[in-house]
Amino acid sequence: MAQPSEAGVSRSVRRVQAEAARSIVVLPPSPTVLIATIGFALLVGVCVAAGGVLAAAAVALVGSVLAWAWVGLLDVPSPRGVIGVVAGTALGSAVLAAFRLDEPLLRWVPVALALGLIGAFAHQILRTDGRSRLTFGLAGTVSGVVVVGAGVPWVGVAVPTGGRWLAGMTLLGVVVAVVAELAARWPRMVPFVVVLGALVAAGLAGLLSGPVWSAWLAGVSGAADTAGMAGAAGTAGAAGVAGSGVAAGPLGAAVSPGLAMELSAGAALLGAVVSQSVRRVMASAPGVGTVRAELAVAAAAVLMPAGAAYVLLRIFVA
């Protein structure tokens, strides 16, 4: 009996794969993920506006939720050890980030992340269950450490002048993208609606950073900073800005109003894009469909955009 040629088998395999790809159904966005994302974003935004210590508390809380839910999302072996490593990294990095809120910011965070990576390997070494799926378990633990580490810059943006505003604009982009995704009536509309939502968030952030709002925002920011300062130098600086009659703007006197609008729009756009990308990438994880896994997706979607706000802050503002 003649055997099929290798070329014929390859064509058959490719045909089956193509048919399977065409049959993939784009799932509608989960309301649980979207609503939890909004809740986490509001929590982080309020705490960042209140200062570095509360921002660290918010990062620790959201990171601990992610650690608990991460094992449900990825279905990793030895889940209790993974929860311990990821939650310990979240708590340790948040505490070390808030330990010194002066320059250089986040100086001790690499220590916590390094210990988290060491803990990921140590956990696999100490397993007594035969170490089944060792590579997958190690990869799942390390990825959880990376995600919670990516959220630590929320503590850094809560300290310098203008950082809280950039954080707010980044989280505004996250929320607007979520609302746009909720408004999509058909799953295949989601990418187009989210792109539109990201552009709307960028335009709204730029509008809020414009000259119409600059005086009011500078007054609110100056009052908050003055109330939080303990030294006479800070009080004298605030009085000097108030006496100059020049609106410092939401990002401080060193940033021109035009650049402030561009940075705010960019922060909102990046927040929307990063958050949406995280949700779409994690939508194919093994455990998606349970509330526990959906909380992990929502927490990651709020933690990951922190780096965008921090990079914009350090490059263009402070």
- Structural domain includes residue 4: no
Q: Which sign, positive or negative, has the C-alpha torsion 110, 113, 115, 117?
A: negative
Average pLDDT over residues 290-297: 90
Strand, coil or helix: 290: strand
Cis upstream peptide for 104 (omega within 30°)? yes
- Structural domain includes residue 210: yes
Q: How far apart are CA 218 and CA 246, in angstroms?
A: 10
| Residue with more model confidence, 247 or 301 | 301
Q: Which sign, positive or negative, has the C-alpha torsion 185, 190, 195, 197?
A: positive
- Paired tokens of 24: 């993939």
Please write the tens of the pLDDT for every residue from 42-69.
999 999 998 889 999 999 999 999 999 9
How large is the C-alpha radius of gyration of the chain? 23
Q: How far apart are CA 175 and CA 191, in angstroms?
A: 15
Please write the tens of the pLDDT for every residue from 266-286.
888 889 889 988 988 887 787
The DSSP line for 185-221 is SSGGGHHHHHHHHHHHHHHHHHHHTSHHHHHHHHHHH
Give the pLDDT confidence score for residue 242 in this predicted structure.
36
Please write the tens of the pLDDT for every residue from 76-103.
888 899 999 999 999 999 999 998 878 8
- Structural domain includes residue 237: no
Q: Of 165, 151, 42, 158, give the one whose Cα is nearest residue 98.
A: 158
* Band (301; pLDDT cuts 50, 70, 90): very high
Structural domain containing residue 193 = 29-226+245-317
- Structural domain includes residue 3: no
- Left if phi > 0, otherwise alpha if psi is -120 to 50, otherwise beta: which for 252? left
- Average pLDDT over the chain reads 78
Q: How far apart are CA 280 and CA 241, in angstroms?
A: 45
Environment class of 227 (CB within 10 Å of its CB; exposed 0-12, middle 13-18, buried 19+):
exposed
Answer yes or no: is pLDDT of 158 > 80: yes
- Structural domain includes residue 12: no
Place of tokens 């990171």: 63
Q: Of 180, 155, 23, give the one whose Cα is nearest residue 99.
A: 155
Lowest mean pLDDT among 188-197, 215-224, 303-312: 215-224
Looking at the structure of the chain, the number of domains it has is 1
Q: Give the Å distances, CA to CA, from 79 to 20, 33, 46, 69, 71.
A: 32, 22, 32, 10, 6
Count of beta carbons in the 10 Å neighbourhood of residue 239? 12
Give the pLDDT confidence score for residue 119 in this predicted structure.
93
- Structural domain includes residue 107: yes
Answer yes or no: is pLDDT of 312 > 70: yes
Strand, coil or helix: 119: helix
Q: How far apart are CA 154 and CA 43, in angstroms?
A: 12
Q: How far apart are CA 301 and CA 69, in angstroms?
A: 13
